[in-house]
Amino acid sequence: MPVETPDDLAAFFSTDDFAVQANITDGDDFDIDINVIFDNSTEGVGLYSDTSVEAANPQFEAATVDLVGVKRGMVVTIASKAYTVERIRKIGDGATSRVEMSE
C-alpha cells in the first residue's frame, strides 16, 4: 500500500517507534534535523574467491521531501556519531529515499 499523505509519512518516521533524529549539515549555512530509520549493519566484501570481510554499511531512510538540499559530502550526526553522505537514491514511488553514508 503506497503512502498516501504527509501524515502517513510522519507516522512512519515517528521517534515514538523506530525512528531516530539525525542532524545534517554542510558546516556552513545548511543545518536540518529530521527523523530517519537508521541501519548500521555490515556487508560482506569479497577479497578472494573464498575470503570476505565485513564492512560497515551505515545508511538511513527518510521522507524524500525532508532531504531537499542534502548533497554528497554533507555530515550526518546520529546518536553523537558523525557520518558523511555518499549517495542518495529514491525508493519505490519516491516518497522515501535511502541515504548511504561512510564513517
pLDDT at 1 over 60: no
Asked if 53 contacts 47 with a C-beta cutoff of 8 angstroms, the reply is yes
pLDDT at 12: 83
pLDDT at 62: 96
Q: What is the dihedral of CA 99, 71, 74, 96, to 10 degrees?
A: -30
The dihedrals phi and psi of 77, each to the nearest 5 degrees, come to -115, 120
pLDDT at 56: 76
Residue 12 carries which side chain, given as an amino acid letter? F
How high does pLDDT run on average in the chain? Answer: 89
pLDDT at 77 over 60: yes
pLDDT digits (tens, 9 = 90+) for 29-59: 999 999 999 998 877 777 777 777 777 789 9
What domains, with CATH codes, occur in the chain? 6-102 (2.40.10)
